[in-house]
A and B are shown apart, each in its own frame.
Chain A
């Protein structure tokens, strides 16, 4: 009893939020940087997944429920269809 935990729960939640948003910055940068459009779509889906975790941590389950099918499933799907019907590589 009376043991103080290493990290207060409040700081822990904020720390996880900060780490996830830092990872999303890296994902966005990679999505913009790469020349392969399929990879760009996959990095953008990774960013969407990280954002949906962020929504659950920000206590917005409604947004999470609509965001996961839309931004992780449907938008990469239609963009991959467009890429398969057109071209894959972005020229220099």
Chain B
């Protein structure tokens, strides 16, 4: 019975694929990309021809996320925090952070392995985030890798383990706010310098433009940091990791409505 269903499913897919091949070949990728993509690929690290349009980052995706379309990402970040705050608002009055030991968690082998792997998870996440302008990765990726850690720790030890260790939602909220403030300050950094020096400059400017000759330094002591991209990545990493950690701690510690009414 199950096998028949799977065979019907797969043959449906193959038939639809035949239809696409015959009738709609333009839906399948071709050997060329769109002209706008060619412009981005050409300009992402090009100090020879397009000096006034380049982002000075070898990583085209990070360059688009934080430079060419940086304003999009700023508003997407705000959408992301609105959704997170909407979720946290539902637990209002239900959250109780008590530093008391409840349960013993999983076996000692699992706990020891978790103690060893926990710093590794943070190290991998930080590496992905800090090298976001050079290799695949960036603030969002590094932040979500680090956000796996509180989930693992809560499952392996106990729900209040993080609170006992001093990781409360208030502290994480401070980290998250610092990250968001950092993103805002980086966005207007070049603009503020322009005001001070009485020179034209834009909000969200990274490298020098034809009518605004100020630019962030793209390398510090020989190390390429791609101007604002490095700062955006590190602040976004902190903000994403702390924001998701708050949500997991809230989810694990929140009580049911009845027990909160009973007290």
Contacts and interface: CB of A to CB of B under 8 A. Distances in A.
A22 to B, nearest CB: 6
Contacts of A65: 128, 136-137, 141, 145
Given A22-B10, A62-B61, A81-B252, A74 B148 contact: yes
B55 to A, nearest CB: 15
Query: Could you say which interface size class chain A belongs to?
Result: 10 to 19
Interface in A70-92: 70, 73-74, 77-78, 81, 85
Nearest to B151: A77
B10 A26 contact: yes
Nearest to B135: A61
Interface of B: 5-6, 9-10, 13, 61-62, 128, 136-138, 140-141, 144-145, 147-148, 151, 155, 244, 248, 251-252, 256
A25 interface: yes
B126 to A, nearest CB: 13
Contacts of B137: 62, 65
Contacts of A7: none
Contact of B148 (A25, A26, A64, A69): A69
Contact of A22 (B13, B155, B248): B13
Contact of B10 (A25, A73, A78): A25
A29 B3 CA distance: 12
A69 B145 contact: yes
A81 B155 CA distance: 10
A76 B138 CA distance: 23
